[in-house]
């Protein structure tokens, strides 16, 4: 398909009127022209096909724009989610003529409107790159390619695909080579004014050449990115209050998610815990503390709280937070004790492919940690002898409902909110003065060893060397796997799967990630217990080879071990005291079930003795889509100890 730059033409209209006759003479009346609207709308494609991703860029590089609002005026419905941004991206599903308008205010005074039209032909796009959007300089960008035939057949050969940057300051891709890559990632370059970057992708599909182009608008930012001694030393996304009329006000953003944010700037008076506002929060109370990069993310989070928090667990646990940030650039999720906020990757919240398109897809930076080790310790959540949830491969562009991601998102919330209630338990919520900073409150309990996870280690230590300040071998292995791979030793490289299984099976941890820090130990105990108690979802853990083909040992519901149950009870009764029957549930936990080591990790999800009692995948009322991939557990959240405790020691 031929491509050219299409720019909306804006012409001046002169209206001239004259009156005359009867021999009389009068000067013509001239109506002054209306001022020319400042700016233009850019669309790279001169021709758009069905299913092709395209973007409209509001380009006004020399002025400050506010109150941006896009709306569709003609054509079949378009699905786009950045309506208040300078760029909207979408994929038309029907041919025909389309119209879009954008309103915006220039330099805080003049309001303008630009109209734009384009046509979608009858052809079906075979190759498309998503998603064109606006991004602040220095922020992370991901570009993803899609082939239409990928959704209907086996994955096509993409080795011929080539990415090229065709316009704008040169970016540095995170990949060593982009040849054959389905996705590319880079940080937006620094710019002096709003700047358009353009990229093209060309490749063969079924022996025929296809191509697509995409535009990214890099916005100049007047906020400097701090080099150190600040929570966010990389560019963060532009975000906004989900409820624009929230009593929290814009200062909440400054306190918890801005490159202007500092550790000790905000007091509880400026950024209170939700419990300091109300100890019985409603969904609306929670949403007053939610900050998002896209409106749909807040809408989905609200929908989850309204429809899936039947026991009020999440509303109660959220009392220990100052804010909830849901942004496309949060990957993976994490909790910040010095800011009191949780930061959620929106990956569990999308329901449509267009929503998913707005999320940065950069891989977890820890993916290759510990590659020299001879073992893996996979884990997963299971229900009824089957995986509890599944991954949705990007190439299929499938839709789903929140039902499909309920277990995944619930487990993430239980985990991150366990961290929040570890540092800010219910016994302290109302003891802080408005003049105390969140940072000072955390430093105080840290120095006094009064964080709940400190008490856990004092009473039920995971590592027997904890009291003396030492580390056992499993703790040291976890540092390599989850924190710093450079710490690996030859002895650790030489450990066999059996060596590690023999170390772990008699220990007090439900899974290996518990050893990454004392804070993670508490959160792992809590999230696994809550998933079992509230949803009947079990957790498997095993020791396997790197490819997950050979397991030498594994268990389901390991928290039922007699020496682990007291640790679970200690945590559950303190993190969520409203769960008054938690201790009884723990007491009644059955001993763990052994996984069959004659099977691969994937196959071992079906335990034959349980299947005999009807606890198998056949119980599902709907068939599992064959395109879905069983989803193993991953450490989706950033560990908070290493940076946080280093900071507090300085």
Half-sphere exposure of 368 (CA within 13 A, CB side): 3
Question: Which residue blocks in 402-545 are alpha helix, DSSP H?
Answer: 402-423, 438-447, 452-459, 473-482, 490-494, 497-504, 518-535
The total number of structural domains that make up the chain = 1
Quick check: bond before 93 cis, omega within 30?
no
Query: Is pLDDT at 54 greater than 80 in this prediction?
Result: yes
The verdict on residue 39 lying in a domain is yes
Which of 98, 3, 8 has the alpha carbon at shortest distance from 46?
3
Q: Which residue has the higher pLDDT, 475 or 614?
A: 475
Query: Is pLDDT at 10 greater than 50 in this prediction?
Result: no
* Contact present, 362 and 181 (Cβ < 8 Å): no
Quote the tokens at residue 551: 């397991």
What is the structure's pLDDT at 551? 95
The verdict on residue 285 lying in a domain is no
Query: Is pLDDT at 529 greater than 80 in this prediction?
Result: yes
The verdict on residue 575 lying in a domain is no
Query: Is pLDDT at 621 greater than 50 in this prediction?
Result: no
Quote the tokens at residue 172: 């540095």
- What are 413-470's pLDDT values in tens digits? 999 999 999 999 999 999 999 999 999 999 999 999 899 999 999 999 999 888 888 8
- Please report which confidence band the pLDDT of residue 372 belongs to, taking 50, 70 and 90 as the band edges: confident
- Please report which confidence band the pLDDT of residue 21 belongs to, taking 50, 70 and 90 as the band edges: very low
Question: Which residue blocks in 309-451 are alpha helix, DSSP H?
Answer: 313-317, 353-357, 402-423, 438-447
The verdict on residue 215 lying in a domain is yes
Please report, rounded to a whole number, the percentage of residues in the chain having pLDDT higher than 70. 89
The verdict on residue 26 lying in a domain is yes
Quote the tokens at residue 433: 């003065």
Domain that holds residue 103: 6-219
- What are 112-147's pLDDT values in tens digits? 999 999 999 999 999 999 999 999 999 999 999 999
The verdict on residue 348 lying in a domain is no
Which of 91, 1, 30 has the alpha carbon at shortest distance from 355?
91
Q: How far is CA 629 from CA 67, 196, 383, 619, in A?
A: 42, 37, 16, 19
- Please report which confidence band the pLDDT of residue 369 belongs to, taking 50, 70 and 90 as the band edges: confident
Quick check: bond before 332 cis, omega within 30?
yes
**What CATH number is attached to the domain comprising 125?**
2.60.40.3010
The verdict on residue 66 lying in a domain is yes
Measured CA to CA, the distance from residue 441 to residue 47 in angstroms comes to 58
Half-sphere exposure of 267 (CA within 13 A, CB side): 7
What is the structure's pLDDT at 36? 62
Measured CA to CA, the distance from residue 222 to residue 190 in angstroms comes to 11
What is the structure's pLDDT at 28? 63
The verdict on residue 508 lying in a domain is no
- Please report which confidence band the pLDDT of residue 22 belongs to, taking 50, 70 and 90 as the band edges: very low
Half-sphere exposure of 199 (CA within 13 A, CB side): 30
pTM of the model: 0.90
| For range 20-42, the mean pLDDT | 63
| For range 471-495, the mean pLDDT | 91
Which of 213, 204, 208 has the alpha carbon at shortest distance from 179?
204
Measured CA to CA, the distance from residue 51 to residue 177 in angstroms comes to 28
- Please report which confidence band the pLDDT of residue 620 belongs to, taking 50, 70 and 90 as the band edges: very low
What is the structure's pLDDT at 209? 94
Q: How many helices (H) and strands (E) does the chain have?
A: 17, 29
Q: Which residues pair with 382 in a beta bridge?
A: 387, 538
Residue with tokens 């208040």: 84
- What are 553-596's pLDDT values in tens digits? 999 999 999 999 999 999 999 999 999 999 999 999 999 999 99
Q: How far is CA 441 from CA 55, 273, 329, in A?
A: 46, 12, 28
Measured CA to CA, the distance from residue 258 to residue 263 in angstroms comes to 11
| For range 539-546, the mean pLDDT | 95
């Amino acid at each position: 398909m031929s491509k050219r730059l299409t720019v909306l033409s804006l012409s001046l209209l002169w209206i001239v009127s004259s009156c005359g006759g009867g021999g009389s003479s009068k000067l013509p009346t001239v109506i002054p022209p209306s001022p020319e609207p400042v700016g233009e709308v850019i669309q790279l494609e001169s021709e758009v096909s069905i299913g092709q991703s395209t973007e409209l860029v509001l380009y006004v590089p020399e002025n400050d724009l506010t109150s941006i609002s896009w709306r569709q005026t003609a054509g079949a419905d378009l699905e786009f989610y950045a309506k208040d941004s300078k760029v909207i991206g979408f994929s038309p599903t029907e041919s025909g003529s389309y119209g879009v308008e954008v309103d915006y205010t220039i330099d805080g005074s003049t309001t303008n409107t630009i109209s734009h039209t384009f046509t979608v032909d009858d052809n079906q796009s075979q190759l498309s790159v998503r998603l064109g959007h606006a991004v602040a300089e220095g922020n992370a960008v991901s570009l993803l390619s899609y082939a239409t035939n990928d959704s209907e057949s086996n994955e096509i050969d993409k080795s011929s695909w080539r990415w090229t940057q065709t316009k704008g300051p040169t970016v540095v891709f995170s990949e060593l080579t982009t040849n054959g890559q389905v996705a590319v990632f880079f940080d937006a370059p620094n710019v002096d004014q709003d700047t358009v970057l353009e990229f093209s992708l060309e490749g063969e599909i079924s022996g025929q050449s296809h191509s697509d182009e995409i535009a990214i608008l890099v916005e100049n930012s007047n906020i400097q990115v701090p080099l150190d001694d600040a929570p966010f030393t990389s560019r963060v996304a532009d975000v906004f209050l989900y409820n624009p009329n929230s009593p929290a006000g814009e200062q909440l953003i400054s306190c918890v998610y801005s490159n202007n944010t500092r550790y000790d700037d905000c007091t509880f008076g400026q950024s209170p815990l939700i419990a300091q506002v109300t100890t019985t929060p409603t969904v609306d109370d929670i949403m007053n503390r939610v900050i998002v990069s896209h409106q749909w993310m807040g809408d989905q989070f609200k929908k989850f709280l309204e429809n899936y928090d039947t026991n009020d667990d999440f509303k109660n646990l959220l009392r220990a937070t100052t804010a909830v940030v849901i942004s496309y650039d949060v990957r993976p999720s994490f909790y910040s004790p010095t800011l009191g906020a949780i930061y959620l990757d929106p990956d569990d919240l999308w329901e449509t492919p267009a929503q998913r398109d707005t999320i940065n897809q950069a891989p977890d930076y820890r993916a290759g940690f510990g590659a020299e080790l001879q073992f893996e310790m996979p884990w997963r959540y299971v229900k009824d002898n089957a995986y509890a949830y599944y991954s949705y491969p990007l190439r299929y562009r499938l839709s789903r409902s929140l039902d499909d991601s309920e277990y995944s998102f619930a487990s993430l919330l239980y985990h991150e909110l366990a961290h929040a209630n570890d540092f800010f338990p219910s016994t302290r919520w109302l003891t802080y003065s408005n003049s105390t900073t969140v940072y000072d409150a955390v430093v105080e309990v840290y120095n006094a060893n009064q964080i709940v996870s400190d008490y856990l280690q004092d009473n039920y230590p995971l590592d027997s060397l904890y009291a003396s300040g030492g580390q056992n071998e499993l703790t040291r292995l976890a540092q390599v796997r989850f924190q710093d791979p450079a710490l690996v030793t030859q002895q650790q490289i030489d450990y066999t799967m059996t060596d590690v299984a023999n170390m772990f099976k008699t220990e007090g941890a439900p899974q290996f990630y518990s050893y990454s820090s004392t804070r993670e130990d508490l959160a792992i105990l809590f999230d696994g217990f809550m998933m079992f108690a509230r949803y009947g979802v079990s957790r498997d853990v095993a020791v396997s080879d790197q490819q997950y083909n050979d397991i030498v040992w594994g268990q389901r519901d390991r928290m039922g071990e007699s020496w682990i149950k007291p640790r679970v009870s200690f945590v559950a009764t303190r993190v969520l005291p409203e769960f008054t029957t938690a201790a009884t549930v723990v007491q009644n936990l059955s001993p763990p079930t052994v996984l069959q080591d004659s099977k691969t990790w994937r196959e071992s999800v079906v335990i034959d003795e349980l299947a005999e009692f009807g606890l198998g995948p056949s119980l599902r009322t709907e068939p599992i889509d064959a395109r879905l991939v069983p989803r193993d557990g991953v450490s989706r959240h950033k560990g908070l100890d290493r940076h946080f405790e280093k900071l507090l020691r300085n």
